[in-house]
């Protein structure tokens, strides 16, 4: 059942940033795209009109998800567990290459959630003209208000319940799958 707002109080949500393509920036000195620090505030909070929303931003690390280690995932898991105690929806900005690995690990380790926990990312960084980052974050923010408790991936106008999701490299997006396919 969807959770529609029933009052005018500010909606609170936690956004945990971990890096990934969504937060890569161009370094004009070496000519590379790289994760240096979270750009979420610059590209989302400063640009979206969210008068009814308060976003708690937690910058965990700035890493390409291909470089995420088991230790990084453990830190992410502990951070999610800590914020679950506040009973606020959680959005995780994550690199797409290992997003499903992290989401499935959280599902496996955290047996009960009382809010939606939504992973999202992008195929192109926030700063690119044709980036999907803003769309994916906006959709995850709305989904965090409406979805029942559980683990999800929000991407390209679709919501996937974890573990029934995998990345489709040919399409550059995510799609439904049976749990044993991923």
- Taking the C-alpha atoms of residue 68 and residue 106, their distance in angstroms, rounded to an integer, is 14
Q: Which pLDDT does position 126 carry in this prediction?
A: 67
Q: Could you report the per-residue pLDDT of 62-90, keeping only the tens digit for each?
A: 888 888 999 999 999 999 999 999 999 99
Diameter over CA atoms, the chain: 50
Q: Which pLDDT does position 77 carry in this prediction?
A: 97
Number of domains in the chain: 1
pTM: 0.87
In terms of Cα–Cα distance, which of 79, 78, 102, 94 is closest to 137? 94
In terms of Cα–Cα distance, which of 34, 2, 33, 39 is closest to 17? 39
Range of the domain at 92: 11-176
- Taking the C-alpha atoms of residue 147 and residue 110, their distance in angstroms, rounded to an integer, is 18
Assess if residue 121 is contained within a domain: yes
Question: Sorting pLDDT into bands at 50, 70 and 90, what band is 31?
Answer: low
Assess if residue 32 is contained within a domain: yes
> Is pLDDT at 154 greater than 80 in this prediction?
yes
Q: Which pLDDT does position 176 carry in this prediction?
A: 96
CATH number for position 161: 3.40.50.1170
Most confident segment among 49-58, 132-141, 148-157, 171-180 = 148-157
Contact by Cβ (8 Å): 167, 102: no
> Is pLDDT at 3 greater than 60 in this prediction?
yes
Average pLDDT over residues 140-166: 96
Contact by Cβ (8 Å): 37, 79: no
Assess if residue 5 is contained within a domain: no
Average pLDDT over residues 101-117: 96
Assess if residue 134 is contained within a domain: yes
In terms of Cα–Cα distance, which of 117, 119, 115, 60 is closest to 94? 119
What is the 8-class DSSP label of residue 128? S
Assess if residue 36 is contained within a domain: yes
Assess if residue 1 is contained within a domain: no
> Is pLDDT at 178 greater than 60 in this prediction?
yes
Assess if residue 182 is contained within a domain: no
> Is pLDDT at 17 greater than 80 in this prediction?
yes
Q: Which pLDDT does position 99 carry in this prediction?
A: 95
Question: Higher-confidence residue: 35 or 177?
Answer: 177
Assess if residue 56 is contained within a domain: yes
């Amino acid at each position: 059942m969807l959770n529609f707002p029933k009052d005018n109080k500010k909606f609170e949500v936690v956004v945990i940033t971990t890096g990934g393509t969504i937060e890569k920036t161009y370094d004009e000195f070496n000519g590379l795209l790289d994760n240096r620090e979270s750009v979420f505030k610059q590209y989302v909070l400063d640009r979206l009109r969210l008068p009814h929303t308060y976003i708690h931003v937690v910058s965990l690390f700035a890493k390409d998800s291909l470089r995420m280690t088991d230790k990084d995932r453990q830190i992410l898991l502990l951070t999610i567990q800590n914020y679950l105690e506040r009973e606020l929806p959680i959005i995780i900005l994550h690199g797409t290459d290992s997003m499903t690995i992290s989401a499935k690990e959280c599902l496996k380790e955290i047996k009960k959630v009382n809010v939606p926990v939504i992973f999202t990312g992008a195929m192109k960084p926030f700063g690119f003209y044709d980036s999907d980052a803003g769309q994916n974050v906006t959709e995850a923010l709305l989904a965090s208000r409406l979805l029942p408790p559980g683990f999800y991936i929000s991407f390209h106008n679709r919501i996937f319940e974890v573990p029934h999701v995998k990345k489709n490299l040919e399409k550059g997006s995510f799609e439904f799958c049976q749990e044993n396919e991923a």
